Amino acid sequence: MQITKKIVLNEKDYWDKAYGGWLGKNIGGTLGEPVEGRMEVLELTFYPRLSEGPLPNDDLDLQLVWLHAVEQYGARLTAKELGQEWLEHVFFPYDEYGYALTNLRRGLNPPVAGWFGNPFTNCMGSPIRSEIWAMLAPGAPATAARYAWQDAIVDHAGGEGVYGEMFFAAIESAAFIHSDVDLLLDIGLSMIPENCRVAKAVSDLRKWHREGKDWLEARELILKHHGHPNFTDAPQNIAFTILGWLYGEDFGDAILKAVNCGYDTDCTGATLGAILGIIGGKDSLPEKWVKPVGNRIAVSPPIKGFPAPKDLDELTFRTLVACKEVLAAWNLPITISSTEKTYVDPAALNCKGLLKGEETPENLWNYIPWEECRPLPAGSGRQPGLEVFINYGPEGPAIGRGETKEITFTIVNHTGEAWEGKLNLEAPKGWKGSGEISFNLREGKKLEYKVEVTSDNNVLPSYKLALNIERYHDGSYWTNYPVHFALVAACHFTVWGPDDNEGYSITSPGNRIAFEKAFDKMPPGVYKARTTIKNPAKRMVEIITATSSPVRVSLNGKILFEDLEETIFMPAYHRAPASKRAELLLPEGEHVLEIEVKKGEDPLDIYLLPVATRDTRSPGSHYYYTDILFI
């Protein structure tokens, strides 16, 4: 719908707010970074550590990459292009980042790449990078939230991290034209499901604030009702961010309260600093906090291969240029003007302060994380002729040796005419698959094509397949539209229960050993798993068995490591407990790995991870070895 009423943002006002947001981000991140992960109440009164300028932080790093993505691919970029940016420019192994990168390297696409086998989808990696979308869509919170969704599903699909980024992006976008905290929170909450954990944590915090609870009481209530042992879990940290906003008496007091709640402190401080910087602009930020960080940008070494802005002036200028492209591309009734004064026509907004005519992203809430969508022709984002949905099922895009897997394709026709032709699945040589079918698909209709594919005994890290859509005209072949996709190798184990003499063969779709596939009930006791590691090259490897339970791991009959104590459950490539991992020079070839794990009353969770060590030449530490297989 074309909207005649409009919002005008004077270019200097936009610059002031955007610069203020980036500067506030730097300030809050520099405050919180040195104490990240501490889970007690802190007592900071100023930066705990200072250097020459701001400290590098992934909160800002990743948004520099996204700005480059918009510059490279244009305003209509999607999760697919953002995933490509990860492969080329982001070499972080941390938590959800590491899992998503592993899946992208195997040939998977978002949202599947952000969901499959990823135990960190509820975490803070995406909520911290919301500002770029707000600054590209200022005053258009639903548009900012839609960009945030495309971003977040790359590494948080199916989790609360997606809703956290949408929530913050909407708030920050609306903050270009509104300053009332309650209205901004209402706008943010309108972009996410009211029953998600993020919404519940924020709503409870607002209630406790209205009831007169002090900030320390509110902190304890957040942890009691929404807390999680992983310090990066999103709902608790998003609530801490909003706590600083609601209880802060000024900028410094607000970011200090957020950070002094502990947990993911660089994230809480940085996001709140950005929100307050957008609302008040550059000059609202106290010199006490500005002077130590200045105008500089610090980029983490694993972020590389693109022209990063050298300072906040360049970052703000490039953000402004990209913003104008976004506003034009989506025909938003918002103008960045060098001559007109900032003006918000009340008729351009609805009663909740949202931009009229913007479709809120409710239709995105019910996406299926194990289903991806491909537009045809390839690259046609806004008005595709066909849409092809590939549904891999709840176990995801994994297949074991000699296994049969069902894949469902749904094809939707958006063109102005009927399509006729044939469908067939192209699989690796030696595999067996369903046969070819003919189709006639009318305009506006959809068809479903279910196929079964059976692999052979040749195990590879990933397998290339294609759905061939052969189009016919007048009964004759016209052209072919191949939709390429990938399946990945499942992990094979033999497992034993506490009283078993004979083992059961199972396949696990990801790196979690799925003992429950063999046992209907799992009483306490010692469970065992055995697999063969197939390593194609001699190299240093860190083998991790991430579990909270006592565990003993043997390689080729010799104990590799043993930990008889319970620890935190942390299936991360870079921060699993030291007692549940070992570095070794692993020879080329096949090696028998045996695991004994003592289960208590809690459910048994254990991940088997082969990763690079801290000391690597390139591209960065602790990346996952996708060519090491468990057969």
DSSP for 389-430, please give it.
EEE--TT-SEE-TT-EEEEEEEEEE-SSS-EEEEEEEE--TT
User: pLDDT at position 2, please?
Assistant: 47
- Verify cis geometry, omega within 30 degrees of 0, for the bond prior to 377: yes
pTM of the model: 0.96
Number of H helices, E strands in the chain: 16, 23
Backbone angles phi, psi at 138, to 5 degrees: -70, 130
Q: How far is CA 596 from CA 550, 581, 630, in A?
A: 8, 14, 17
DSSP H helical ranges for 116-233: 131-136, 141-156, 160-174, 181-190, 197-210, 215-226
Q: How far is CA 521 from CA 497, 515, 524, 525, 569, in A?
A: 10, 10, 10, 12, 22
DSSP code of residue 303: B
Q: Would you tell me which CATH number, out of the four given (3.40.50.300, 3.10.129.10, 1.10.1740.10, 1.10.4080.10), belongs to the domain 7-358?
A: 1.10.4080.10
- Do the domains 491-630 and 7-358 match in fold? no
Top-level class of domain 371-488:
mainly beta
DSSP code of residue 355: B
Q: Would you tell me which CATH number, out of the four given (3.20.20.70, 3.40.1160.10, 2.30.40.10, 2.60.120.380), belongs to the domain 491-630?
A: 2.60.120.380
Number of Cβ within a 10 Å radius of residue 266 = 25
Give the residue from 299, 383, 384, 306 showing the smallest Cα distance to 84.
Answer: 306
Distance CA 104, CA 80 (A): 10
| Residue whose tokens read 């998977």 | 108
Give the residue from 569, 68, 505 showing the smallest Cα distance to 299.
Answer: 68
What is the mean pLDDT for each group of 10 consecutive residues in the chain (631 residues)?
74 98 97 97 95 84 96 95 96 95 97 98 98 98 98 98 98 98 98 98 98 98 97 98 98 98 98 98 97 93 93 98 97 95 95 92 95 87 86 97 96 94 95 91 95 95 96 93 96 95 94 95 96 97 97 97 95 96 97 97 96 88 96 94
- The two tokens of residue 264 are 């993911």
Distance CA 629, CA 531 (A): 10
The dihedral through the CA atoms of 611, 617, 620, 625 has a sign that is: negative
Q: How far is CA 514 from CA 347, 528, 592, in A?
A: 56, 12, 19
Distance CA 427, CA 112 (A): 20
| Ranges of each domain in the chain | 7-358, 371-488, 491-630
Note whether 531 and 593 are within 8 A (CB): yes
Pairing outcome for strands 551-555 and 589-599: antiparallel
Would you put residue 112 in left (φ > 0), alpha (ψ -120 to 50) or beta? alpha
- The two tokens of residue 366 are 């019910």
- Side chain identity at residue 205, one-letter code: L
Give the residue from 362, 356, 382 showing the smallest Cα distance to 2.
Answer: 356
User: pLDDT at position 4, please?
Assistant: 54
- The two tokens of residue 168 are 């913050």
User: pLDDT at position 381, please?
Assistant: 66
User: pLDDT at position 435, please?
Assistant: 84
